[in-house]
Amino acid sequence: MTVLETTELYRFFHSGDDEVVALRGVTVRLNAGEFTALRGPSGSGKSTLLACLSGIDEPDGGTVSILGERMTRRPEPDRARLRARHLGMLMQSGNLFEHLTVWANVRLQMQISGTDRPGEIDGLLDVLGLDGLANMLPAHLSGGEAARAGLAVALAAKPSILLCDEPTAEVDAATEQHVIDYLSKICRGGTAVLVGTHSGALAARADRVIDIRDGGVVHE
């Protein structure tokens, strides 16, 4: 079952008189229960594509559809409702509010999505190796702990689609394997996972790898 589909996405940025093509006619499709790695060097367009898929950024051309519903060229409140209903996101900028504990960050995401289940939070944190850290503020977490806490927030609403941008960039090899194992596990439960990455270990575990370079898909 296709849960996310794009058609001919283009995105342009301007710097003075120069125009930079960030996305060049990108067409991708994600299926339920599929673990997909989006691989490419820095500046290849990975982060821009993920932002357009989530509706955080608007492409200059092409369409994005989530479970048959168009995301592109709609008012931001409509895009926000689609995100809350169907998407979990972990971008490079992070998704933790610094003034909230780990537990409260996860609870807030549940409330935003309309799926408030506070009784399930401790179990989610335990699975991600965050037991004992529920009452910690993000500033007191290590890089690996913050990455896993961000993943807990992204998964709080049990999304149909999980979009991650370099989720293992700041963690050691053991923690990376733990995160990859959990991503594989949620895929088996039916979630579609798309991960932007430089990691060979992560790409090796994916069901499918999409290579992107200079804003275009070069191999899938």
- Whether 157 has a pLDDT exceeding 90, the answer reads no
H or E segment and range at residue 104: helix 102-113
Percent of the chain surpassing pLDDT 70: 99
Asked if residue 29 lies in contact with residue 2, where contact means CB atoms within 8 angstroms, the answer is yes
Mean pLDDT lowest among 61-70, 86-95, 150-159, 211-220: 86-95
**Alpha carbon distances (Å) from 17 to 13, 48, 200, 215:** 11, 21, 37, 20
- Whether 176 has a pLDDT exceeding 90, the answer reads no
Task: Give the span between the Cα atoms of 83 and 104, in whole angstroms.
Answer: 20
Percent composition of the chain: helix, strand, coil (DSSP 3-state, to 5): 35, 30, 35
Closest by Cα among 106, 171, 162 to 133: 106
Domains of the chain: 2-211 (3.40.50.300)
Task: Give the span between the Cα atoms of 45 and 83, in whole angstroms.
Answer: 21
pLDDT tier at 93, thresholds 50, 70, 90: low
pLDDT tens for 19-44 read 889 999 999 999 999 999 999 988 89
For residue 48, what are its two tokens?
């821009």
For residue 33, what are its two tokens?
């229960």
Q: Which residues contact 93 (CB under 8 A, 6 or more apart)?
A: none
Q: Token match 């060979």: residue?
A: 200
What value, to the nearest 5°, has the Cα angle with vertex 179 and ends 138 and 86?
80
For residue 212, what are its two tokens?
């992107």
For residue 181, what are its two tokens?
């194992």
